[in-house]
Structure 1
Amino acid sequence: MRRALVGLILLLAGCARNARPADGVEATSKAEAPEPETPHYEHIFMMPVERSLAEASKLLKEGGWVLQPMEDPKFLLTEWKSAQLGTKSWGYMSDGDHIRYLVAGEPLAERQSIVRIFRMRRVAFSNDAEFRYDGKTGEIVQKHLVMEQFEQLMRARGAPVTLAQQATDIAPWVELDGAIQGTRDLKLERDLTLRLESRPSLETLTGTLRLTRDDSLARDPSFYLKRWRQEVQEPCERKVAGFQSLLRPGQMVLVGEQLGTREVPATVGDMACEAAQAGLGVTVGLSIPDKEQARVDAYLASKGSPADQDALLHGDFWRKQQQDGRGSRAVMELIDRARALRAAGHKVSVVAFDTDTNNGSARDARMARTVLNAHSARPQDVFLVLAGNAHTRLVTGVDWSKDFVPMSKHLVESVRDLKILEVGYAQGRRWGCDLEPNNEMVCNVMGITPGPRVEIRPETPVGIRMLPELDDEGFHGFLDVGALTASLPAIALRGHDAPESEPGAPGAPAPGPAQMVDRPAPAMRAKPAAPANSEAPAPTQPAAPAATGTGAPAQPQKQ
């Protein structure tokens, strides 16, 4: 019995975002209902198409879909699955709705790819002939081939090659006995994006990691920060809405960041400026090894000249090959802003509170002690402490360690009215490190997509949103910074400038996902023979890999 297959178009909306509460209204602890949005740009994954499709394959298999063999590795195709039986279409009762997925990968460059996911639907009708009998004689008096005419009508409306590139090119997913069409499944594409771009960041501790050569003699004059030449080195032009209520002596604010962005260190610098101009002492805490403190102090007391910048960047922390975002140009810029504020007569300090000699909970306990020691020495300062958000959340345990105790748990026991903020952001890019399937650590520009809890629109103004109570993740509120752009390592000889016409420059319009491409920089890659260690298991491996050298663990940062 032959069946005619009829393609139906089903449009699914996706890409939900949470709206920001109106000015003057506190944020609620529960996310608002998501609003479906159709994307205006194709999202570009900053990874090879093979890896993007490998994750898409895992996502489909976890959903119970069976993949069919494909000759072209850039496509994935599932088998048909019955979605619903006995639906009525065009006045006829069908034998069932059937769904399958087509995933099409498009390589753009070695580390750039696009993945489109199509949801394909068909309705199967029986092509039975209808017989009518004479009730008295039992003879056939009328016969109708019901579906034959219906099938011919549907074929006349279009050839079944909608998804083929050419009219004569019959793609493997085209059914020859009916017009099958696919529509973008935006929800599943969103799930894939979160899977690929909400991965934990790896923090590489210096230890005995291999260092780069000293590039100071090769640096062009355009490399260096220019603030030291300006008559007014730090004008403090931007205020952070919502920060004013926290401007009081002794206040400590922890900011849980996404590593390797321009926006977060820049916003913390704005907060430091505002506190200093209010006449308060300010201490900025940075996740830099404490053995770099002497270099940081020397730089704060210097003029900030090129020679002074070279001296700061000569430390091992800045010169390790596996730069994880904590040693970014934006962090260097934040230190330079603190130096400029001191030069203008303000009381500003920087404390390097991280360590290279511990990992896990021991590392966080030591970081907390360093911050508390600085707080005891300057109890009236406003403390702005910037760290990866795995270290700042007031919740014990993380994915890679149920017993992990973050730095914030130690601080809250000793610091009165401690406020902990998580960064709210829109989809963008960052610089970070990640493990590839072969356990090779690669540090480069990566995409970053926020989950519903921290997601804001790109046009959201910079500001602080306090929650009415501590949320389930252990944060008091959010520091909104807008769309994220990558900040390259401070030692990179290029890729730091952000002209007004370039996405991510101050005052530039918020870019769309396909526009947010930072200037290229060479990837920092560890060889498979000596991959970096992680306290979390590698994405596709049951055990943590060994460290590059010895004593150089890499700690994940929660997204």
Structure 2
Amino acid sequence: MHRALAGLVLLLAGCARNVRPPEQAEATQAAPAPVEPEQPKYEHIFLMPPERALAEAAKLLKNEGWVLQPMEDPRLLLTEWRAAQIGTKSWGYQSDGDHTRYLVSSESLSERECVIRIFKMKRVAFSNDVEIKPEASGAIHNRFVGMKRFEDEFRARGAPVELAQRERDTAAWVELNGATQGTRDLELERQLTLILESRPSLETLTGSLKLSRDDSFARDPTFYLKRWKEPVQEPCERKVPGFQPLLKAGLTVLIGEQLGTKEVPASVGDLMCEASQAGHAVTLALTVPDKEQARIDAYLSSAGKPADQDALLGGHFWRKVQQDGRGSRAMMDLLDRARALKAQGRAISVVAMDTDMSQGKARDAHMAGKVLKPRAARPQDVFLVLAGNAHTRLGDADWNDDFVPLSRHVVEKHPDVKVLEVGYAQGRRWGCDVELNGDITCNVMGITPGPVVEIRPQTPVGVRMLPKVHSEGFHGFLDVGALSASLPAIALRGHEPEAPAAEPAKSQVPAAPAPAGSGEAATPRSAP
């Protein structure tokens, strides 16, 4: 965790932004089956301290109009009761309706791992607005006895004392004047998950500061990419269904990236392979500062050996402290695939289009210039532009009315540009975020898709076009499946071989029972 430094520029990259509901028309290519709710086997683990998750849960409840009560236990949130009167008045008695409140409990698994459970708690209370005395005789007495018996039986159903007992103590959130039951509110938990894991990623721009780590260490031989040793360095084995109808000379595709993942750069590499195999020259534009262009060009012309990889990673972009996902191991591998294709005689170019000196719309205008200049010089090239989706979408930015994204500059000159949003399933990424105390932390984070971009984890890589541009400003999807984190390329970890598929994920924990005071067992959530 690093304190924000003076001069560090932060820009919302929008790499996990949600979009509004999809257009009603059918997609030109069959959309994947909708993601139906399933009974998960594991709790969902948030990769953040519990106090951070609880703070967002508190905001969510307050935005819904709930009033929080003070709690001595910092692991809990509790709202006041909210009642809606229902039923009709009869014999002087009337139901006050379902009294509802929310209980949020947190369980810390490690310094930055926690489970959040949200319980919707209910009770039913009765009021008597006329005085009926038990010593009365006749019909009035019989009515009193009948209503009293009914009320007592109804209260007994919830057995609030037994439900709330924990080591013979009644839980703090239970009141003994009505039957109380609590169940997991999975819909509200889903909303909280989207808030916590669909946050726009921060892109850290160093400006004129030298925020480089000391890399005078010796790397283990296992660190280096091994493609340069292979007889055929890049066989381009994986095709991308749905890309062929788009593929033509002069095609320009903008791909809205989820920063810090393995799958997105790998899928863009597949597009590059397929276009070059079809005989097209390909230009790949990346959100790497243009000051790294000379290093990239040198690497593309090299043999890709360990010394060449060290030289590529020598720039400040790769070695800065706040790595935001743009300088990931997967991005390094994408550059290595471009080098391998060029070594086979393919016409491959890479453009470092970003800048560390500008921000906001000035930054996007700079990136657009870096794309449009080679686009004009090489009009027959297939251009693949990879950036955070705030830069690639054609729609208005909801955080800044004056912001003009890269995409709008490009489409003014080339109206036939295609913008693809990444379709993905819940997983993880590497990214940066601001903590409650203002510190910037960069680490593995959970990522949960909104309903428009959500696909099943088993969905194969493919391009899926819409019949018309979406209201948020894209033409289709590049589906990549479930996301996994790609650590910074400079890291000495994160390049180990994949664990065997049969090995259970270390971050998964079995579903825990509901805490005392709830009427049902906890419904589990799946870990990413």
TM-score interval, smaller chain: 0.7 to 0.9
The residue that corresponds to 1:64 in the other structure is 65
- How far apart, in 2, do the equivalents of 1:244 and 1:205 lie? 36
Q: Which structure 2 residue ranges, 5 or more long, are not aligned?
A: 1-19, 505-523
**2:22–2:452 contact (8 Å) kept in structure 1:** no
- How far apart, in 1, do the equivalents of 2:335 and 2:502 lie? 24
Report matched runs for 1:76-95 at 5 Å.
76-86=77-87, 94-95=95-96
By how many angstroms is 1:345 displaced? 2.0
The residue that corresponds to 1:435 in the other structure is 434
- How far apart, in 1, do the equivalents of 2:204 and 2:273 lie? 30
By how many angstroms is 1:148 displaced? 4.1
Report matched runs for 1:543-554 at 5 Å.
none
By how many angstroms is 1:176 displaced? 2.6
The residue that corresponds to 2:519 in the other structure is none
- Paired letter, 2:49: P
The residue that corresponds to 1:44 in the other structure is 45
- Residue 330 of structure 1: SS of its match in structure 2? helix
- Residue 413 of structure 1: SS of its match in structure 2? helix
The residue that corresponds to 1:242 in the other structure is 242
By how many angstroms is 1:364 displaced? 0.9
Q: Which structure 1 residue ranges, 5 or more long, are not aligned?
A: 1-16, 506-511, 517-559
CA RMSD of aligned residues (A): 3.2
- Residue 174 of structure 2: SS of its match in structure 1? coil
Taking structure 2 as the reference length, the TM-score comes to 0.84
- Residue 166 of structure 2: SS of its match in structure 1? coil
The residue that corresponds to 2:318 in the other structure is 318
The residue that corresponds to 1:26 in the other structure is 29
- Residue 195 of structure 1: SS of its match in structure 2? helix
- Residue 496 of structure 1: SS of its match in structure 2? coil
- How far apart, in 1, do the equivalents of 2:139 and 2:86 lie? 33
- Residue 299 of structure 2: SS of its match in structure 1? helix
The residue that corresponds to 1:224 in the other structure is 224
Q: Which whole-Å deviations, capped at 9, do the CAs of 1:229-252 have from their partners, x for residues lacking one?
A: 111211212111101112211111
**2:104–2:118 contact (8 Å) kept in structure 1:** yes
The residue that corresponds to 2:445 in the other structure is 446
- How far apart, in 1, do the equivalents of 2:503 and 2:100 lie? 41
By how many angstroms is 1:435 displaced? 1.4
Deviates more, 1:332-341 or 1:205-214: 205-214
Q: Which whole-Å deviations, capped at 9, do the CAs of 1:59-114 have from their partners, x for residues lacking one?
A: 1111111111111010111111113422799xx96232211101111111111111
The residue that corresponds to 1:410 in the other structure is 409
- Residue 334 of structure 1: SS of its match in structure 2? helix
Q: Which whole-Å deviations, capped at 9, do the CAs of 1:186-212 have from their partners, x for residues lacking one?
A: 111111111112211111113234433
Q: Which whole-Å deviations, capped at 9, do the CAs of 1:8-63 have from their partners, x for residues lacking one?
A: xxxxxxxxx99999x994368xx999855554431111111011111111111111
- Residue 170 of structure 2: SS of its match in structure 1? coil
By how many angstroms is 1:326 displaced? 0.5
- How far apart, in 1, do the equivalents of 2:114 and 2:438 lie? 21
- How far apart, in 2, do the equivalents of 1:191 and 1:373 lie? 43
Matched, 1:273 2:273: yes
The residue that corresponds to 1:472 in the other structure is 471
- How far apart, in 2, do the equivalents of 1:139 and 1:409 lie? 80
Matched, 1:171 2:133: no
- How far apart, in 2, do the equivalents of 1:369 and 1:349 lie? 16
- Paired letter, 1:125: F
Matched, 1:282 2:278: no
- Paired letter, 1:26: Q
- Structure 2 vs 1, CA of residues 251 and 235 (structure 1 numbering), >3 Å: closer, same or farther? same
The residue that corresponds to 2:104 in the other structure is 103
Give the length in aligned residue pairs: 486
Identity in percent: 66
- Residue 478 of structure 1: SS of its match in structure 2? strand
- How far apart, in 1, do the equivalents of 2:404 and 2:23 lie? 31
**2:429–2:486 contact (8 Å) kept in structure 1:** yes
- How far apart, in 1, do the equivalents of 2:262 and 2:351 lie? 20
Q: Which whole-Å deviations, capped at 9, do the CAs of 1:254-283 have from their partners, x for residues lacking one?
A: 101111111100000011111111121111
The residue that corresponds to 1:537 in the other structure is none
- Structure 2 vs 1, CA of residues 178 and 164 (structure 1 numbering), >3 Å: closer, same or farther? same
- How far apart, in 1, do the equivalents of 2:482 and 2:169 lie? 41
- Residue 271 of structure 1: SS of its match in structure 2? helix
The residue that corresponds to 1:486 in the other structure is 485
Which one scores higher on RCO, CA 8 angstroms, separation ≥ 6?
A: 2
- Paired letter, 1:86: G
- How far apart, in 2, do the equivalents of 1:258 and 1:74 lie? 32
